[in-house]
Amino acid sequence: MNASHDEIDDLKMKILDAAKERFQVYGYGKTTMAEIAKDVNMSAANLYRYFQNKQDIAVECSDLCMSDRSNKIREAVRQPGFSAVERLRTFVLTSLKTNLEEFEKYPKISELIELVSKEHKELVKDKVQAQCAIIAEILAYGNETGEFDVKDVIKTSSTVHASLILFDFPLFDGFFSHAEFEMMANNVVDLLISGLRRN
Amino acid sequence: MNASHDEIDDLKMKILDAAKERFQVYGYGKTTMAEIAKDVNMSAANLYRYFQNKQDIAVECSDLCMSDRSNKIREAVRQPGFSAVERLRTFVLTSLKTNLEEFEKYPKISELIELVSKEHKELVKDKVQAQCAIIAEILAYGNETGEFDVKDVIKTSSTVHASLILFDFPLFDGFFSHAEFEMMANNVVDLLISGLRRN
DNA sequence: CCAGTGAATATTCAAGATTATATTCATAAT
DNA sequence: ATTATGAATATAATCTTGAATATTCACTGG
């Protein structure tokens, strides 16, 4: 009997969940294929029917985490009562908070980040794209409400993202305290807003 | 005969120059105290009369490099004919160009950056301070010329710096091409300027 | 066939031995 | 007295090798 795509995807997801848990807690290096396999009641060999290799698991895992993050942020931003300005601020503060909290809770994640940053830059590009899309949505909304006056929403979204990168990438942890980060984030948002505003 | 401070400083500088050359070309790990010593015609042991240890040499070296960079950028920015807007743009583009070129010419420098980023965060803070000071000067000048309308120059300088960090730290090399970086830098500057402008 | 496995092999990791280098120190030269 | 050094020691990098782990493969039960 041939397994349906759904069944395969289901199993892939189970594997990814198990792997994610172990990567977060013990780090990439310290989790073995055998352990992941045991978590989902199969042999290590059989994992290779679902993934090319260990690194692939890590990559799909990271991809999934980033998507989750993006979804979370998108939801936080889409609060009905929010103005575009509030949305932009929420975007930055939620990104920042998510980054800081995740890093505090699972320091081992830096291993995955390093892996993805060195090889697999395409994933990072995808993440940037996703973030820009959210920003673009906010900008377009701001144009509608009259809060903003943005000519080229796509181009500007990537510009805004570039100026917010300090709060979107966990590369600067340790240089500033959470409070400092938050204050800086608010200040940058204020400045950006005044640049985006219809005068 | 007691050596004057000037003589000591002169020798320290010679040592730093030699060390810098080797660090740049061969990296921190692959240059030995003996080699640096030979370059300035003394024994390795004698280096310790001028520096606590090897890491100290690296730190003072980095400090020097950063100061040089800051001075270079400050000079580029202070061109007499320049408006504040032009100065801000020059600031960013010069920072970016310096970073990219240096990294291309001396890839081994990443070793020093890593060292300084991990231990010696105070150096990084100093660098940030120096950059902010230059920005503050530009902002104050913009207030004078009427181009800008910045209430708190100090606070805003650090905000502007935060939004320009992508172009000021060599952490994102490889993610974007030089051309992409430059375009993004220009776009961010445009956006910032419109936020800083007197309306 | 297809999902799955245990055993075989390739690769990576880690502990210990070895070597190179950083750092100290007793002493020499000036 | 101060600058400097060579030799001694401490520390860190490198290499080696056995063990752990990733990956492949021939095979098994459905």
- The CATH number linked to B21 is 1.10.10.60
**Are residues B71 and B45 part of one domain?**
no
pLDDT at B124: 93
* Contact state of B165 with A165 under an 8 Å Cβ cutoff: yes
**Are residues A118 and A42 part of one domain?**
no
**Are residues A191 and A99 part of one domain?**
yes
Domain final residue, candidates B12, B28, B51 = B51
Q: What is the mean pLDDT of residues A56-82?
A: 96
pLDDT digits (tens, 9 = 90+) for A49-59: 999 999 999 99
pLDDT at A174: 83
DSSP code at position A29: T
* Amino acid present at A131: Q
**Are residues B35 and B10 part of one domain?**
yes
Question: Is residue A85 predicted with pLDDT exceeding 80?
Answer: yes
Q: Which domain holds residue B99?
A: 55-196
**Are residues B158 and B80 part of one domain?**
yes
DSSP code at position A32: -
| Vertex A99 angle, CA A97 and A105, to 5° | 95
Interface test with B, best of A148, A164, A188, A197 (most B CBs within 10 A): A188
Chain D bases having any atom below 7 Å from a protein CB: 1-7, 13-14, 20-26
**Are residues A155 and A135 part of one domain?**
yes
**Are residues A73 and A24 part of one domain?**
no
**Are residues B74 and B34 part of one domain?**
no
pLDDT digits (tens, 9 = 90+) for A107-143: 999 899 989 988 899 999 999 999 999 999 999 999 9
**Are residues B33 and B103 part of one domain?**
no
pLDDT class for A186, splitting at 50, 70, 90? very high
CA of B1 to C1' of D2 (A): 7
Say which CATH number the domain at B124 has: 1.10.357.10
**Are residues A111 and A72 part of one domain?**
yes
- CA torsion sign for A46, A52, A57, A63 is negative
**Are residues A19 and A108 part of one domain?**
no
**Are residues A111 and A36 part of one domain?**
no
Number of domains within chain B: 2
